[in-house]
Chains A and B, each alone.
Chain A
Amino acid sequence: MKYKFWKILLGIWLALVIIVGFSFDIVDSPQNWNEFPNIPGLENKARIIFFHVPTAWIAVIAFLMAMVNGIRYLQKNDLEYDVRSSSAAGLGLIFCILATVTGAIWAKFNWGAYWNWDPRQTSIFVLMLIYGAYFALRSAIEVDEKRASLSAVYAIIAFVTVPFFVFIMPRMMSGLHPGSASDEGAGPVVDFSMDTTMYIVFLASLFGFTLLYLWIYELRVRLGMIELRYESLRSHE
């Protein structure tokens, strides 16, 4: 019962973020608190920042949590960490797909094509491939302990190769994505084009989405632990 309170609050919070994100006017020079600034080249399409960026953020955070719990599993040999690791990865995959799809739809209207191998698109694609490979590996191993340790090792190896993209991407292609260094139209949105109102709504959305993620994550971990205990009880009979 004591947890119910913040869940209702989170529902209201996210509902407010959605209403505010869609309903506040976009004007050239905002005077009132309920107006967003007009970012040249983006206009109304700038509203995606409240929903797309948090999903992409969670896709990355979930990957980090999957890897950290993988390391913990290798240290402690406790299957609870494997449940944590795979729960985080499962959610990460869902949010990764959400970020890719919302981004692609936005790209169709802003750049004219759903997909054009922008550095950000390429990196989210790689992240999706890693998640996909991670679950392909998990489904191919039957023994619980072996599955846990091998998928943990894979997550760590995948994680260490990610920084290389930071060095390779700028050499390969220039970015159109708002916020990338070579973007001249919209400029680095997160840095200076957002005013205080927009920034607060953005942070509120980020906060709300992160809590939502943690909530589903805890549910999945609890479910995973119950399944694990059920399996072990059944095998003892």
Chain B
Amino acid sequence: MIQQTTAVFLKDFQSELRTRYAINALVMFVITTLSIILFSIGGERVSLDVLAGMLWVVIFFSAMSGLSRSFVSEEERGTTMTLQLLAQPAVVYFGKLLFNLVLILSINTLVVTLYVLLIPLFVVQSASIFFLTLFLGSVGLACASTIIAAIIAKANSKGTLYPVLSFPILLPLLMTVMNATKLSLDGAPFTEATGEFRVLISYSVVLVAVSWVLFDYVWKD
């Protein structure tokens, strides 16, 4: 099963490298959003709370514009049937999850690098909290958005529906990571953020478990 999962992942990864469909659009999306934020901030001293929140606004919307590709492209290219015949649902799910995870982690690396470089006020005081939050937040984002992507791939008006369906599901995650990012900017000790990390880990575990059980119903026509 692990072999098959990596095969699905590699298939997506290679077709992404070949077409660069998601990655090109995503990089431009991140740059556009960040420049809008920079324009709106101007020379003002914005509070750290707002900066922490804004970072996750950028991450949320880049995820929403990129992560649905994994399933939508299968529907658009008409390859869903082939994949249904060749692989078990669970294999497809975990392959796509892995792909989305790699995609969101690389996008978030870009977002955070640009954010730190372009906004001098955004100084991370406790790096351990910040990077663990970023990592666990990305994992949670990928876990929640993969199953939603599978759902909207079967619906009309996919692009607008994706953030609408994902937002209520992602809200607990977003509230937690914003809180944890604030803590890291304030330079809180690591022990203060363990509650947040526990929420993030259990969130990912619960969503993966539920998605795994329910994916059959979404995937089969």
Contacts from A to B (Cβ < 8 Å): 74, 126, 129-130, 132-133, 136-137, 140-142, 146, 149-150, 152-154, 156-158, 160-161, 164-165, 167-168, 171-172
Cβ contact within 8 Å between B207 and A167: no
Cβ contact within 8 Å between A157 and B179: no
Known: A157-B169, A160-B206. A141 touches B214 (CB 8 A): no
Cβ contact within 8 Å between B218 and A161: no
A128's nearest neighbour on chain B, judged by CB, is B168
Which B12-35 residues have C-beta < 8 A from chain A?
A: none
A227 to B52, CA, bound (A): 50
Q: Which of B62-70, B76-84, B154-162 contacts A (4 or more CB under 8 A)?
A: B154-162
Chain B residues with CB below 8 A from A153, complex form = 147, 151, 214, 217-218
**Contact of B172 with A by CB under 8 A:** yes
Cβ contact within 8 Å between B175 and A136: no
Cβ contact within 8 Å between A172 and B179: yes
Cβ contact within 8 Å between B199 and A154: no
Q: A136 touches which one: B164, B211, B217 (CB < 8 A)?
A: B164
A156 to B161, CA, bound (A): 18
A150 to B167, CA, bound (A): 17
Known: A133-B167, A136-B165, A158-B169. A168 touches B176 (CB 8 A): yes
Cβ contact within 8 Å between A149 and B217: yes
Chain B residues with CB below 8 A from A150, complex form = 151, 154-155, 217-218
Cβ contact within 8 Å between B156 and A140: yes
- In the complex, how many angstroms separate the beta carbon of A75 from the nearest chain B beta carbon? 10
A167 to B108, CA, bound (A): 26
A161 to B204, CA, bound (A): 10
B158's nearest neighbour on chain A, judged by CB, is A140
**Pairs A–B under 8 Å by Cβ, sample size 22:** A126-B168, A129-B171, A132-B164, A133-B164, A133-B167, A140-B157, A141-B154, A146-B221, A150-B155, A156-B210, A157-B169, A157-B207, A157-B211, A158-B168, A160-B206, A160-B210, A161-B168, A161-B169, A161-B172, A164-B176, A167-B199, A168-B179
Cβ contact within 8 Å between A133 and B168: yes
Cβ contact within 8 Å between A137 and B165: yes
Chain A residues with CB below 8 A from B167, complex form = 129, 133
Chain B residues with CB below 8 A from A133, complex form = 164-165, 167-168
Chain B residues with CB below 8 A from A156, complex form = 210, 214
**Contact of B56 with A by CB under 8 A:** no
Cβ contact within 8 Å between B151 and A161: no
Which B130-168 residues have C-beta < 8 A from chain A?
A: 144, 147-148, 151-152, 154-157, 161, 164-165, 167-168
B220's nearest neighbour on chain A, judged by CB, is A149
Chain A residues with CB below 8 A from B155, complex form = 137, 140-141, 150
- In the complex, how many angstroms separate the beta carbon of A19 from the nearest chain B beta carbon? 39
Cβ contact within 8 Å between A171 and B179: yes
- In the complex, how many angstroms separate the beta carbon of B84 from the nearest chain A beta carbon? 14
A150 to B221, CA, bound (A): 11
- In the complex, how many angstroms separate the beta carbon of A74 from the nearest chain B beta carbon? 5
Chain B residues with CB below 8 A from A154, complex form = 148, 151, 165
Q: Closest 10 A-B residue pairs measured CB to CB?
A: A164-B172, A140-B155, A129-B168, A130-B168, A140-B156, A153-B214, A149-B217, A133-B165, A141-B155, A133-B164
Cβ contact within 8 Å between B199 and A164: yes
